[in-house]
Amino acid sequence: MNEERSLVRKAVALKYEMGKDEVPRVIAKGERLLAEKIISIAQEKGIYIYEDPTLVALLGRLEVGSEIPETLYRAVAEILVFVFRLEGKV
């Protein structure tokens, strides 16, 4: 049963606009089919996808619409910096 749980696909979508938002927010989250839909929409829109099961598990505990907590700032900031560099924003 534990192996089955580890195979469940999960996704959390964050929103952050440099210069507009103070803190990233959770805008969607889900498991199984909903996670697949979130990932599919991100791919269709050209949104970067970063896979980190530990971070997804932590972010998945948050309510949709909530800001990420200070304890996750560093982890999320590292991802944002990477994305901004890819986009030529930093």
**CB-CB contact of 13 with 38 (8 Å):** yes
Go through the domains of the chain in sequence order and give each one's CATH number.
2-86 (3.40.1690.10)
| pTM recorded for the entire structure | 0.82
- pLDDT at 59 (0 to 100): 96
Q: Look at residues 42, 53, 41 and name the one whose alpha carbon lies nearest to residue 8.
A: 53
* Rounded alpha-carbon distances, angstroms, from residue 27 to 22, 37, 63, 74, 88: 15, 14, 9, 19, 24
Query: In this predicted structure, what is the pLDDT of residue 3?
Result: 42
The pLDDT score that the predictor gives to residue 90 is: 66
User: pLDDT tens digits for the chain (90 residues)?
Assistant: 334 445 679 999 999 988 898 999 999 999 999 999 999 999 999 998 999 999 999 999 999 999 999 999 999 999 888 888 888 876
